Every structure is written in C-alpha cells, then in structure tokens.
Amino acid sequence: MARVALVTGGSRGIGAAISVALKNAGYKVAANYAGNDEAAAAFNKETDIPVYKWSVGDYDACATGIAKVEADLGPVDVLVNNAGITRDAPFHKMTREQWNDVIRTNLDGVFNMTHPLWNGMRERKFGRVITISSINGQKGQFAQANYSASKAGDLGFTKALAQEGARAGITVNAVCPGYIATDMVMAVPEKVREGIIAQIPVGRLGEAAEIARCVVFLASDDAGFITGSTVTANGGQYFA
C-alpha cells in the first residue's frame, strides 16, 4: 500500500515541486496551503493532488486538518514541513508583529504539525519528518533576524527530535535550500538577482525540483540510516 505524505505549503513554489515529486515516487500526497485559494485550485486541477486549507500557526487547526487528511488518505507516514513566510526588516525597525508572525509560522508551525502525528508514527514504528529550513538559518541574513532565528530553530528541533524518534523507526531531517528560482526570487529586479547569482559558485539559481529530489530521498527506505542530518543544497554558496 502506498505511503501517505503531507506537505505544508504544498501547492506553490518549492512545496508544489515536493508534492509532485512525492506523487511521482508513488506516495499518496496531501498538499496543505494557508490562503491562496486560486493557486491551490489550479494546482489541484493540474496535478490531481488533494489540497487542504489551514494555518500551520494554529495548533488546533493543524490537528483538525491532519485528522481530515488521515480520514481521506490514511495515516500520514511522511511529513514535509515546508510552509514558511518572510517579514523582512532591519532589526531596529522590526515590529513585534513581524517577529511573531514569522516565528508562529516557521517555527511554531513545525511543532504544530509534527506533534499531532508523532504518537501515530511511534505506534506504527515508521515515520519521516523532513523540515525545509534555509541557508539563512545556517549563516544569518541582514534584515532577517526573525526568519533566520526561525529557520535555525528548525535545525535545533530536527537534531533533538531525531534522537527521540530513532528507536521508533522515525527519521527526522532538514533540507536547507539556497536561492531557488521560485516566483518570489524571479520577481526581484534583475540586477539584484544577478548579484545573488554572483555569490553562488555553480553560477545559477537552484531549481525547486532539485530540492524536491532531496526530500524524496530522505522520505525513502533507502534513507533509513540518515537522521538528525541537514542536507545543504545551495550551489556551494555556504558550507555548514
């Protein structure tokens, strides 16, 4: 029987690529999204991957949403914590709301999604928790104290939880993408984009499908001896 994978932020950008790659690898996939109904409907129509709407920043909404996914598809075996937001500002101008919004989605959201699934994975003696962190959680970034803190927190969560899940057959890993050719990155002015590419030794932006392939591997049985690890996929821009 096909395993079930749940991808948060799974209908756009890197998340959409992950959802499609997991489906192509034989998983039954559910894609969560937060607010863009039009994009989610288009993604569902194009891929036939079911979409489910809730905010990962709300624990009760996560528990309710997960229950709906499991009622429709079966117990979730693979969780991909991909949902994330930015609210960039230099720290002296950053508001409490900008800080809280990012921490709530990018860090609390990882807890809110993983916690309701954890006991089921332990009981079934199998699970894969894969969190999409960021190069900026590894090295920091100007005007991203909130984002960098949240993504660094995701890495600490991964390393700690991996130790708890290991004997229960659950692996917990992270992927840290560098700059990927998503709509958001491609929308920045060309000169800014050229400046970014100049810092990447391979001389190009990454592709969402390249991140997705990392996730598919970490979700597989072949990756059963890999846990607590961070896969750095940034074209050589930063070595952790």
Local structure of 82: helix, strand or coil: coil
Residues 6+ apart with CB under 8 A from 78: 3, 4, 5, 6, 22, 27, 127, 128, 130, 219
Beta-carbon neighbour count of residue 218 at 10 Å?
Answer: 23
CA angle 224/226/227 to nearest 5° reads 105
Residue of 27, 33, 52, 147 marked catalytic: 147
Residue with tokens 């229960």: 168
Distance CA 29, CA 51 (A): 9
27 catalytic residue (yes or no): no
Report whether 146 contacts 90 (CB < 8 A).
no
170-177 and 230-233: which strand pairing? Answer: parallel
The answer to whether 86 touches 144, Cβ cutoff 8 Å, is yes
Work out the widest C-alpha separation in the chain, in whole angstroms.
53
**Which residues are identified as catalytic?**
147
